[in-house]
């Protein structure tokens, strides 16, 4: 269905994320992957969806030569805890601290998607609230050692071991927490 709708477009996914790439395959979208390096910096006064909207747009900026048929999709996810953005941890110490901070609390996972062509751009976002149980230091160390969560916002993947044992409630889209609000992407693409 979506494949038919998009048959006149060249879909470009600008994401290294294996989860996002798999979501596109599962949606039955023909796409290619193109990556351009961007320094993911934003102004400190930005809050919540403002951050992810800004970063999704920033990731689209290096693609300056889109053709009439190109449709570029970029995305960004953060974990939002107590008015602070948690991105990807740079090392074991950061990963441990992020998971320690999330332990026993509720947080939001915010993802924005930029859909850009030569003549238009649309940015959509989604927010899911996730509740974590109290984690022991041993559980956190085990997860970091065995799952290397350094490519994940907030230092965790809900689809991995820590999601099985720590997440006791979510309000909103599971797929958003896994990296892409697939339902919102589908709706936006069907509206083209």
CA distance 107 to 119: 36
Antiparallel, parallel or unpaired: β 70-81 and 10-13? parallel
Region 142-157: what's the mean pLDDT? 96
pTM of the model: 0.95
Q: What is the pLDDT of residues 154-183, one digit of tens each?
A: 999 999 999 999 999 999 999 999 999 999
Look at residue 45 in the predicted model and tell me its pLDDT. 96
- At 123 the three-state DSSP class reads strand
CB atoms within 10 A of CB 105: 13
The enclosing H or E element of 25 equals helix 18-26
Average confidence score pLDDT of the chain: 96
**76 catalytically annotated:** yes
- At 32 the three-state DSSP class reads strand
CA distance 34 to 14: 5
Q: What is the pLDDT of residues 66-105, one digit of tens each?
A: 999 999 999 999 999 999 999 999 999 999 999 999 999 9
Percent of the chain at pLDDT > 90 equals: 96
CA distance 44 to 51: 9
CA distance 112 to 124: 6
Region 101-117: what's the mean pLDDT? 98
Region 136-149: what's the mean pLDDT? 97
**pLDDT exceeds 90 at position 123:** yes
Region 132-156: what's the mean pLDDT? 97
Looking at beta carbons, which pairs linking 48-54 to residues 24 or more positions away fall under 8 Å? Answer: 48/80, 48/108, 48/110, 48/127, 49/110, 49/112, 49/125, 49/127, 51/76, 51/78, 51/85, 51/110, 52/76, 52/77, 52/78, 52/110, 52/111, 52/112, 52/125, 53/112, 53/123, 53/125
CA distance 60 to 115: 9
Domains of the chain by residue range: 2-190
Q: What is the pLDDT of residues 35-73, one digit of tens each?
A: 999 999 999 999 999 999 999 999 999 999 999 999 999
CATH fold of the domain at 2-190? Maf protein (3.90.950)
Which residue in 76, 101, 126, 138 is the catalytic one? 76
**pLDDT exceeds 90 at position 1:** no
**pLDDT exceeds 90 at position 192:** no
- At 96 the three-state DSSP class reads helix
**pLDDT exceeds 90 at position 3:** no
CA distance 156 to 179: 11
């Amino acid at each position: 269905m979506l494949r038919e709708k998009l048959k006149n477009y060249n879909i470009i996914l600008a994401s290294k994320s294996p989860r996002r790439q798999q979501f596109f395959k599962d949606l039955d979208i023909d796409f290619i992957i193109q990556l351009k390096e961007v320094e993911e910096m934003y102004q400190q006064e930005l809050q919540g969806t403002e951050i992810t909207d800004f970063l999704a747009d920033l990731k689209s900026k290096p693609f300056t030569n889109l053709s009439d048929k190109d449709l570029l999709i970029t995305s960004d996810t953060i974990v939002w805890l107590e008015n602070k953005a948690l991105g990807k941890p740079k090392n074991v110490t950061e990963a441990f601290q992020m998971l320690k901070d999330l332990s026993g609390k509720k947080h939001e996972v915010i993802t924005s998607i930029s859909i850009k062509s030569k003549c238009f751009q649309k940015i959509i976002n989604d927010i899911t609230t996730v509740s974590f149980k109290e984690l022991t230091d041993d559980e956190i160390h085990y997860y970091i050692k065995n799952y290397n969560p350094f490519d994940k916002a907030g230092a965790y993947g809900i689809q991995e071991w820590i999601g099985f044992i720590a997440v006791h409630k979510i309000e909103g889209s599971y797929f958003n927490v896994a990296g892409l609000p697939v339902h919102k992407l589908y709706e936006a693409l069907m509206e083209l």
